[in-house]
A and B are shown apart, each in its own frame.
Chain A
């Protein structure tokens, strides 16, 4: 079965603290994974994709095929990072995405 799991609905940290948003996936093929972010009242935006291996806004994510995980990390959280974060799996070659349940990141001053 194709599935993405984000175990935490809410993650609350203080500014400057490290952040790790967890994502686990289940997929029989070669996975292509993404992190999308949704700031308040805005559209979903791509934050990271595992194949590009970039660091965006200080966030990184490494695909761990052994643990079937794609956790999102940032060493020092900023207040402007407060948003909803979705982990997503591209399933098949039609481009459709399977989303996790989302994690709300709340960064307190």
Chain B
């Protein structure tokens, strides 16, 4: 069965560079969530989209932006990268938000050097 696909799996960037992370949800899923997991930390909610509109926002820095496209895939854009942005970034998708399970991708490991 198709799962949530994230690309790239690994990314190394230098400070002050820009990074774009991509998330392809399970077919027919209309909701996408982004989470950030720092080393030894629990996953922290960043932002979510439902039907291409932002539905919720967590502790996402102003340097980050995201959107959901017409095919429901989502991209997380990160600018002016800092060392502290080094983390595992998870994407999850679901069909709606009520009584539904969120399925997670494998994550993108971003290392800022």
Report yes or no: B42 in contact with A86, Cβ–Cβ below 8 A. Answer: yes
Report yes or no: B43 in contact with A86, Cβ–Cβ below 8 A. Answer: yes
Question: What are 15 A-to-B residue pairs whose CB atoms are below 8 Å?
Answer: A36-B104, A43-B90, A43-B105, A43-B106, A44-B43, A44-B92, A86-B43, A94-B56, A95-B96, A95-B100, A96-B48, A97-B33, A97-B35, A97-B102, A100-B42
Which residues from chain A contact B43 at a C-beta distance below 8 Å? 44, 86, 97, 99
CB < 8 Å neighbour of A95 from B35, B48, B105 = B48
Cβ-based interface call for A69 (8 A): no
For A44, A51, A96, the residue with the greatest tally of chain B CB atoms inside 10 Å of its CB is A96
CB < 8 Å neighbour of B55 from A44, A86, A94, A97 = A94
Cβ contacts A76-109/B at 8 Å (1 or 0 each): 0000000000100000111111111110000000
A100 to chain B, nearest CB (A): 6
A24 to chain B, nearest CB (A): 14
List 8 additional contacts besides A86-B42, A95-B96; criterion CB under 8 Å.
A43-B4, A93-B97, A95-B97, A95-B102, A97-B102, A98-B45, A99-B43, A100-B42
Residues of chain A from 44 to 83 with CB closer than 8 A to chain B in the complex: 44-46, 49, 51
Bound: A37/B90 CA distance, A: 14
A92-B56 CB under 8 A given contacts A98-B45, A100-B42? yes
Residues of chain B from 91 to 105 with CB closer than 8 A to chain A in the complex: 92, 94, 96-105
Bound: A36/B43 CA distance, A: 12
Bound: A42/B104 CA distance, A: 10
Report yes or no: A101 in contact with B48, Cβ–Cβ below 8 A. Answer: no
Report yes or no: A94 in contact with B42, Cβ–Cβ below 8 A. Answer: no
What residue in chain B is nearest A91 (Cβ atoms)?
B45
For A45, A46, A86, A97, the residue with the greatest tally of chain B CB atoms inside 10 Å of its CB is A97
Bound: A61/B29 CA distance, A: 28
Cβ-based interface call for B58 (8 A): yes
A9 to chain B, nearest CB (A): 9
